[in-house]
Structure 1
């Protein structure tokens, strides 16, 4: 096997996840999407923003990050 600098790429197969949210959370997400469009001059659907929001939240949770680093 050749010795390459680039490590094997992780699995990038998208996983579809269906969730149910409350009306007030949906309203907050809609408001966030409007603010996002104002800030960046580009509208993005809520379903495109949510994965980035979740990733950002998880990456900023110190306890979670520490726990993952121990694994």
Structure 2
């Protein structure tokens, strides 16, 4: 079994966003949704719903972002 970076999608109220993706990225998003559906058994009818958990996962694992955010919060707490 493939170990994908995101798991099942939470049943959450959708929020409408508009985003322009390069065609290649959109094709990859569709492929990712298909693979994730097979892996989790959860049908993903709209691959766009993967964007938010992917961005969240990216930010959660970005060490430079975490350090900068921590410095900003520390500065805000002092100021």
Same fold (TM over 0.5): yes
Range that drifts further, 24-33 or 38-47: 38-47
TM-score (normalised: structure 1)? 0.73
TM-score (normalised: structure 2)? 0.66
- How many residue pairs match? The answer is 58
Q: Alpha carbons of 1:59 and 1:20: their partners in 2 closer, same or farther (altered >3 Å)?
A: same
In structure 2, distance between residues paired with 1:58 and 1:25:
19
Q: Please name the residue that 2:66 is paired with.
A: 65
- Alignment deviations for residues 1-46 of structure 1 (CA, whole Å, 9 cap, x no partner): xxxxxxxxxxxxx764311111111100000000100110012221
Q: CA RMSD in A?
A: 1.5
Show structure 2 runs of 5+ residues with no match.
1-13, 73-79
Show structure 1 runs of 5+ residues with no match.
1-13
Q: Find the structure with the greater CA-based Rg.
A: 1
Q: Please name the residue that 1:3 is paired with.
A: none
